[in-house]
């Protein structure tokens, strides 16, 4: 009995979610048309620095992985205990967060300088 209820419930919930999202999207577009706003206008705004942002983020993550690798090998050496392996995982995630964040900060600085120069 339970084996058949799960797929049926999943199908009904998925259908209800898709129907609800389409219904609300249509309702929003109709309200925009009634007010004289073009509903397709907000979807076509260009994002000129999106590739720069993702590029700097990935470069920062790559540098973070390299720094973490060299840090783990320098601090712990070749033979690691279970506790040291757990600490090395923390170093990897910490470096990923730090250098990924630095990449996004550099992207923000570049965008801000460009916008200040334009206006």
Are the C-beta atoms of 65 and 96 separated by less than 8 Å? yes
Other residues' Cβ atoms within 10 Å of the Cβ of residue 11: 10
pLDDT digits (tens, 9 = 90+) for 92-105: 888 888 888 888 88
Question: Is the alpha carbon torsion for 49, 50, 56, 59 positive or negative?
Answer: negative
Query: How much of the chain, in percent, has pLDDT values that exceed 70?
Result: 94
pLDDT digits (tens, 9 = 90+) for 46-85: 677 888 888 888 888 888 888 888 888 787 776 777 777 7
Inter-axis angle of helices 82-118 and 50-76, nearest 10: 150
């Amino acid at each position: 009995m339970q084996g058949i209820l799960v797929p049926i419930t999943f199908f009904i919930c998925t259908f209800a979610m898709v129907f609800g999202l389409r219904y609300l999207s249509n309702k929003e577009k109709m309200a925009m048309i009634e007010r004289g706003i073009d509903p397709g206008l907000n979807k076509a705004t260009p994002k000129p620095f999106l590739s720069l942002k993702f590029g700097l983020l990935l470069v920062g993550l790559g540098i973070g992985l390299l720094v973490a690798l060299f840090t783990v090998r320098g601090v712990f050496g070749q033979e690691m205990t279970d506790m040291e392996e757990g600490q090395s995982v923390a170093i990897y995630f910490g470096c990923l967060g730090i250098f990924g964040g630095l990449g996004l900060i550099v992207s923000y600085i570049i965008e801000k300088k460009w916008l200040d120069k334009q206006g």
